[in-house]
Amino acid sequence: MTDGSPHVYLPRSGTDDFSVLRYDLDLDYRVATNRLDATATIRARAEVPLAAIVLDLVHLKAKKVRVDGQKRARFTQSPTHLRITPAAPIPAGTEFVVEIAYDGSPVPRRSRWGTLGWEELTDGVIVASQPSGAPSWFPCNDRPSDRAAYGIRVTTEQAYAVLATGEPTGHSVSGGRGTWTFEREEPTATYLAAVQIGRYTLEPRRSAGVEWVVAYPSALAQRVLHDFEPVGRMLESFQDLFGPYPFPSYTVVVTEDPLEIPLEAQAMATFGSSHADGRSGSERLVAHELAHQWFGNSVGLASWRDIWLNEGFACYAEWLWSEVSGGMSAAAHARIHHAALRLKPGALVLGDPGPDSMFDDRVYKRGACLLHALRMRLGDETFFDLLRTWTRENRFRTVTSADFEALAERFSEEPLAAFFDAWLRRPQLPALGH
């Protein structure tokens, strides 16, 4: 499938032929040997008549497959896909259940954006799937618009703590192994499902009505507790600016290993020891990842071409946090980054940057500059009312740039078609405005 874009972003990932309603993942993992034995139970609905069910699965081996409880379903497997043939075609509109037993030694998926998915740390595991790494640890329909509920059960060595997508619902120990269970009812994209395993201390907090937890190696306690203290104030400020925090809780994980960049997941963000220097050196990134809970995770992408709706908004949230916390104003950040964008070589179409450029820094900064230019046009009161309406009306939905343009028109006294055309569909950088 394609996502309707002139560029083909992930042509071999996911399908529109069916929609997943819920994933139940039972993962038995051995850190010492990087061995995964797992079962995935997938409840889905056929959107077209299905003679075959095709799921994304990379590097791991399916052992047994059942469809709707039948004894065994026939299946074949390529390096990137699992193709299942039910006993009879599944009519459009019909719900069905697929159970897949699979195993192997999970490794990250190689892509044009680097390695993605399940990755071993020095002593533990991280999952960083954006945009196409989810099939490195479970069979799935890997497209951003197909969002589902999750139940995740992880069993591993007793010494490790597990944090995964969902609210924790149980933890038990037996025979030197710990089992952790999680439930996520809010619709979640496959790339935002995650498991983090490590020797972590878990410290619960509550700020601005939101339960949150920070998980960290005990040796990093002083640095982590200093650098992530602002999360509570960020939760308060962002709820004022963007509307209520959309999930029941928030989890921050800091790994013992350094990481190049933080990793977003549903109601979770993972940082490396390199992001906890004890001097607040990564505060803007802490704000960025928290902002994704509104922009990208609650309000999600219908297709990757509109990734500026995730990254431009989260980048602008960095500037807003600077402004409300006594640092440089968002206007000053916008002027500085707009000037820098003018000096960067090459053209970029923000509303369809293409797969090679979807994580280009220009997407982040130009998207944030668009929002600041829109703020100057609308005025602060109207602009922030627009943002809160955007998060409220699209809570747990997927959206496109056209949706945001249409909503912005409702808040503007003058037409915005030329404004959005210049910022989103033309490569030349527009003026920031007055």
Please report the domains of the chain, with CATH numbers, ordered by start residue. 18-105+133-184 (2.60.40.1730), 201-291 (3.30.2010.30), 300-425 (1.10.390.10)
Render pLDDT for 191-235 as a digit per residue (tens, 0 to 9).
999 999 999 999 999 999 999 999 999 999 999 999 999 999 999
In this structure, what token pair is assigned to residue 144? 């951003």
Nearest to 193 by CA among 255, 245, 147, 248: 147
Residue 4's pLDDT is 45
Residue 99's pLDDT is 98
Contact by Cβ (8 Å): 239, 257: no
| Alpha carbon distance 203, 251 (integer Å) | 10
Catalytic residue among 119, 256, 283, 289: 289
Q: For residue 8, is pLDDT > 90? A: no
> Catalytic residue at 183?
no
Mean pLDDT of 251-274: 97
Segment (H or E) for 19: strand 18-30
| Amino acid letter, residue 6 | P
Confidence of residue 72 (pLDDT cuts 50, 70, 90): confident
Q: How do 300-301 and 398-399 pair as beta strands? A: parallel
Q: Provide φ and ψ at 50, rounded to 5°.
A: -110, 110
Mention every residue, 6+ apart, whose C-beta is less than 8 A from residue 336: none
In this structure, what token pair is assigned to residue 63? 């052992």
Confidence of residue 7 (pLDDT cuts 50, 70, 90): low
Burial 147-185 (b: 16+ CB within 10 A, else e): bbbbbbbbbbeeebbbbbbbbbeeeeeeeebbbbbbbbe
Mean pLDDT of 13-20: 96
| Alpha carbon distance 377, 371 (integer Å) | 10
Residue 245's pLDDT is 98
| Alpha carbon distance 365, 284 (integer Å) | 13
Q: For residue 27, is pLDDT > 90? A: yes
Catalytic residue among 23, 29, 250, 364: 364
| Alpha carbon distance 303, 399 (integer Å) | 8
- What's the whole-number average pLDDT of the chain? 96
In this structure, what token pair is assigned to residue 99? 């159970």
Residue 292 assigned ligand-binding role? yes
pTM over 0.95: yes
Render pLDDT for 95-110 as a digit per residue (tens, 0 to 9).
999 999 999 999 999 9
Residue 70's pLDDT is 84
How far apart are the two ends of the chain, measured CA to CA in Å? 43
Contact by Cβ (8 Å): 184, 166: yes
CA 99 to chain centre: 25
Confidence of residue 111 (pLDDT cuts 50, 70, 90): very high
Contact by Cβ (8 Å): 431, 377: no
> Catalytic residue at 364?
yes
- Helix, strand or coil for residue 401? helix
